[in-house]
Amino acid sequence: MRVTIAEELLLLAHNEKEGRQLINSIQLDPALAGAILAELAVNGRVELTEKKLTVKDPTPLGDAELDATLARIVADGKDRTPSWWVQRLQSHKLRHRLLERLADAGVLTEERGKVLGIFPTRRWPEAQPGVEADIRERISAVLAGAEPDPRTGVLIAITKVVGLTRKIFPNASKERVKEITEGAWAAEAVAKTIAAINAGVVITTTVTVVAIS
């Protein structure tokens, strides 16, 4: 099935069998918002630099989450940075909507429970392991030297900036990961997208950590 970059990130960020998050929500939520913006950029709807997000084409893509974000950006109509949008878009609600969408599609299973018999919990073990397996195979090929496509390059860059790459691909070459995340292989537009998204996720994560400290 076709999944968005944000949904690919979610699958990688959860343990396949137990459905637990591998990184904390302070890291994951901004990364998901960044992945949404990156998907719009890869599909030619917006253009990103570290200082500005510009709408290039307001035509919907046919995906409810992506189209709602695009419509929100168009309606805002102001010059904003990608970092500003990452901060505004990131939330546990976005994460839960995407998890529920994957569950509705039969990719994940939702399991509800309670900690200490009081605090509700939700876990998301995989129901269709083949979906994540395909994502991992694509990333593994790139990490082994294959030419990245824009989607895979962006996904690897986001996993690195939130500390997920080493958890899911512990034997990956640091030099190869750095090469991909710096965007040297990519066209200028993709390289700018990677830089802008990485900066936006880092800024938002830092602001959140400081706010709750």
Measured in residues, the chain has a length of 213
CA distances (Å), origin 177, targets 38, 50, 68, 133, 159? 18, 21, 32, 20, 10
Query: What pTM was estimated for this model as a whole?
Result: 0.93
Domain 5-132+188-208, classified CATH 1.10.3630.10, yes or no: yes
Judge contact between 73 and 88, C-beta under 8 A. Answer: no
- For the chain, the structural domain boundaries read 5-132+188-208
* Arithmetic mean of pLDDT, 57-85: 97
| From 2-11, 68-77, 116-125, the region with the lowest mean pLDDT | 116-125
pLDDT tens digits for range 102-157? 999 999 999 987 766 677 888 999 999 999 999 999 999 999 999 999 999 999 99
pLDDT tens digits for range 16-35? 889 999 999 999 999 999 99
Q: What is the mean pLDDT of the chain?
A: 92
Residue 158 has pLDDT above 80, yes or no: yes
| From 50-64, 128-142, 157-171, 186-200, the region with the lowest mean pLDDT | 186-200
Would you call 159 exposed, middle or buried from its count of C-beta atoms within 10 A (0-12, 13-18, 19+)?
buried
Would you call 117 exposed, middle or buried from its count of C-beta atoms within 10 A (0-12, 13-18, 19+)?
exposed
Residue 198 has pLDDT above 80, yes or no: yes
